[in-house]
Structure 1
Amino acid sequence: MRTSALLATGLTLAALSATAGCGLFGEDQPADLQVYSARHYGSEEVFKQFTKETGITVDFLGGDNSELLERIKAEGEDSPADVYMTVDAGNLWNAADQGLLQPIDSPTLDKAVPQQYRDSQDRWFGLVLRARTVLYNPDNVKESDLDPQDTYAGLADPKWKGRICMRDTSEAYTVSLVASLIDLYGRDKALDIVKGWVANDVDVMANDVLLIDAVDAGTCDVALVNHYYLARELEERPDLDVKLYWASQEGAGTHVNISGAGVVKTSDNKEQAQELIEWLATKGQDDMIAGNHEFPVNPSVQPDEVARSFGTFKPMPIDAEAYGALNAEAVDLLAEAGYK
């Protein structure tokens, strides 16, 4: 069984190497920095701009978060990774908890990244924010129909039976939202909420664009989506028959999550790796949000025009440890509730 496990790990890493490499520079021109990135939103253009401004070249390997973490662990002291970048605060917490990231002493990052969006031991730093909130069809739903205190819990009300759509659990979005509900309400109430969604015949879909299309068509009256998916769709289809509602503004606030990065503990280029993260949190913030409409973590940087059009909102505080530590419990809870 040990041999089989090692073989399986080797095959996984080999597949990752063959399919996920995204180098910016040829083999005859080795890069200064190696980034392992589970973020797939225009990273290549961001790294090119960093190189243009600093002269530091970047190579990056894209892949699934869990695969990249396993690769770093399997490579050990010989890992070429300098920076680990991912989506979801729980993933960042998990990498730090496994001892894969090292603390950064950086006055620049202390100023640029608010405390609630970085690790308490400065092993990782958030770079951009996304909000998972309510989208509704104004032909079928009035804003006053939505619960301003506990909007996510309010979707368990029987009045929404046959009217709601949500995302599957293939990405971290649904799992992290449920983890935040467990942290906020406790497991029993969170389970009741998810059971309420299921009892309302929630239509579970494979991606947020399908959710937006369903609300626009009136197939669903209400859905939970990441705000930037809507922003991207509105750029191409400004006549969509949908409206955004900031959830729980009279309560805990709208669920938010982050993309962020940290310096890999075994990096041989720690100073340049830190410089990249500092740049991403300062001069590179506009490049990070360009084209994807996420919110910058740096309070001195304005969101882009489309994101600004959604208005300001109160975010739910991010508890990265809860998102990470409660991840498995959230998965179990979803299964127990019958969420497919």
Structure 2
Amino acid sequence: MTSTPKKSRFVLAAIAAVIAGSAYAEGELNLYSSRHYDTDERLYSDFTEKTGITINRIEGKADELIARMQAEGANSPADILLTVDTSRLERAKNAGVLQSIDSDVLEARVPSALQDADNQWFGFSQRARIIFYDKTDVSNPPMDYVSLADPAYKGMVCHRSSSNVYSQTLLSAVIENHGAEAAKAWAQGFVDNFARAPQGGDTDQLRGLVSGECDISISNTYYFSRALRRDVDGLDKDAMSNIGWVFPAQNAEGAHMNLSGGGIAANAPNKDNAIKFMEYLVSDQAQQYFSAGNDEYPAVPGVGLSPSVAALGLFRPDAVDLSKVAKNVPAAQEIFNQVGWE
């Protein structure tokens, strides 16, 4: 694989020069990605080695890439958009920058709940969003999401802001599973139990358990598994030994899952190559890289887990249709505003 230096990936002129002529090039594909993981390099290099297709990349934040694709319109060189979280995939669909595709491989390999009903996006990897707690202070942790609103946990809970897509998708799933009225009551109880104003990322929620600011927090599993595999600032092995975890709602809907996925750009100049790459991402080899390289759960059933992921144990995931969950995001944002979740 050939790739521009990291600094240059964010330079808008990197691929824009191609627009003046044709963005089509036999043996190439143009990838717009908001996945920011160095370990994905293995995915790209192996695909190129197998197919001879070179991947040209533009990396940036999801909303910026979607806006860019809209601005480029029919002249966009983008072949694929990769991003994280179902809400962003649905946002790209609603923005008109993706297209429906036919692929027997993707249909067979990706469970129906992890793909768009119109085949405009498909999931490639997952992260469970679960409950973590300080074992030295909490002897009776909440066993489901609903219990996080229990007054027994007042002043104990930390979470990210309402502007974060993980927060939005979690509440959207609560709406889908329990209804809007119950979801609003849950969100209000959750806010009442905050130990501090919402702040930081998922790793910061885990650090809050170590610092003593929080007794209970929610995080995607891959942040925790990464810290199990190698030291992360503020989360050394001694600190980690005091953190327990719960896969929520195992007697109900199951653990909420966040999705990383992608779709073919609406005006993809190298559509055939793009479909080949999408199909490669659901191969056993690529699925194992998602787990081993970035501590994620494969989207394809039956693919083995890396030791750091398997160490968290077996659980039942929420099987809710994520395309339906994504459609609840506007309702979730309204609830956040009503209950004062900053």
Shorter-normalised TM range: 0.7 to 0.9
Corresponding residue number in structure 2 for 1:305:
307
Which amino acid is 1:263 matched to? Answer: I
Would you say 1:246 and 2:241 are equivalent positions? no
Asked whether the 8 Å contact 2:31–2:57 carries over to 1, the reply is yes
Alignment of 1:215 onto 2:209: yes
SS of structure 1 residue aligned to 2:145: helix
Residue 327, structure 1, aligned to residue 329, structure 2: yes
Give me the whole-angstrom Cα distance separating, in 1, the residues matched to 2:279 and 2:67.
26
2:223: which partner in 1? 229
**Higher deviation after alignment, 43-52 or 226-235:** 43-52
Cα deviation code 1:44-85 (max 9, x no counterpart): 342123212221111111122222111111111100000011
Specify the alignment match of 1:7 in structure 2: none
Residues 124 and 259, structure 2, Cα contact 8 Å, conserved in 1: yes
What is the correspondence of 1:54-133 to structure 2 with a 5 Å cutoff?
54-133=51-130
CA contact (8 A) 2:158 2:205 kept: yes
Q: 1:284 aligns with which of 278, 283, 286?
A: 286
Q: Is the contact made by 1:24 and 1:44 (CA closer than 8 Å) also made in structure 2?
A: no
2:29, 2:79 within 8 Å by CA — same for their partners in 1?
A: yes
- Distance in 1 between the 2:94 and 2:330 partners? 15
Task: Quickly say closer, same or farther: Cα 1:288–1:24, change in 2 above 3 A.
Answer: farther
1:19 offset after TM fit, Å?
7.5
Instruction: Check the 8 A contact 2:113/2:323 in 1, yes or no.
Output: no
Residue 8 of structure 1: aligned partner: none
Local SS of the residue matching 1:183: helix
Q: Deviations over 1:106-130 (max 9, x none)?
A: 2222222111111222221100001
Name the SS of the counterpart of 1:271 in structure 2. Answer: helix
TM-superposed deviation, 1:329:
2.0
Pick the aligned partner of 1:161 from 146, 154, 167: 154
**CA deviation after TM superposition for structure 1 residue 247, in Å:** 0.6
Cα deviation for residue 212 of structure 1 reads 0.9
- Find the counterpart in structure 2 of residue 171 from structure 1: 164
Q: Cα distance, 1:190 vs. partner? A: 1.0
- From 32, 41, 56, the counterpart of 2:28: 32
CA 1:87–1:299: 2 relative to 1, 3 Å = same
For residue 88 of structure 1, report the CA deviation from its aligned partner: 1.0
Any conservation in 1 of the 2:195–2:213 contact (CA below 8 Å)? no
For residues 21 and 61 of structure 1, what CA distance do their matches in structure 2 show?
8
2:149 aligned counterpart, secondary structure: coil
The match for 2:22 is none
| Residue aligning to 1:12 | none
Q: 1:213-252, CA deviations, whole angstroms, 9 ceiling, x for partnerless residues?
A: 1212333111001000011112223331101210111111
CA contact (8 A) 2:117 2:323 kept: no
Of residues 70-79 and 279-288 in structure 1, the stretch that sits farther from structure 2 once superposed is 279-288
User: TM-score, normalising length from structure 1?
Assistant: 0.86
Contact 1:140 1:221 (8 Å CA) reproduced = yes
Moved more, 90-99 or 273-282: 90-99
Q: For residues 320 and 67 of structure 1, what CA distance do their matches in structure 2 show? A: 23
Taking structure 2 as the reference length, what is the TM-score of the superposition? 0.86
**CA distances 1:287-327 after superposition (whole Å, capped 9, x unpaired):** 23333200001113112111111111111124333333221
Percent identical? 32
Between 125-134 and 109-118, the greater mean CA deviation after superposition: 109-118
Aligned residue pairs: how many? Answer: 318
Partner of 1:11: none
- Aligned-residue Cα RMSD (Å) equals 2.4
| 1:192 maps onto 2:185 in alignment | yes
Question: 1:254 Cα deviation (Å)?
Answer: 0.7
Q: Which residue of 2 aligns with 1:257?
A: 258
1:14 counterpart residue number = none
Q: Distance in 1 between matches of 2:41 and 2:14?
A: 7
- In structure 1, the residue matched to 2:49 is 52
5+ unaligned residues in a row in structure 2: which ranges?
A: 1-6, 19-24
Equivalent AA in structure 1 for residue 327 of structure 2: A
Relative to structure 1, the CA distance from residue 126 to residue 242 in structure 2 (aligned partners, 3 Å threshold; closer, same or farther) is same
Shift of 1:195: 0.9
Is this contact kept in 1: 2:79–2:267, CA < 8 A? Answer: yes
Q: Match for 1:135: what amino acid?
A: F
Letter in structure 2 aligned against 1:160: Y
Provide the C-alpha distance between the structure 1 equivalents of 2:63 and 2:91, rounded to a whole number of angstroms.
10
- Residues 182 and 190 in structure 1, CA contact (< 8 A), matched pair in contact too: yes
Q: Describe how 1:262-277 pairs up with structure 2 within 5 A.
A: 262-277=263-278
SS of 1:40 mapped into structure 2 = coil
Superposition deviation, residue 284 in structure 1:
1.5
Q: Partner letter of residue 141 of structure 2?
A: L
Matching residue of 2:4: none
Q: For 1:205, give the aligned amino acid.
A: Q
**Take 2:96 and 2:130, find their aligned partners in 1: how far apart are those partners?**
33
Q: 1:290 to 1:170 in 2, by over 3 A?
A: farther
Letter in 2 for 1:294: E
| Contact 2:225/2:295, CA 8 A, preserved across alignment | yes
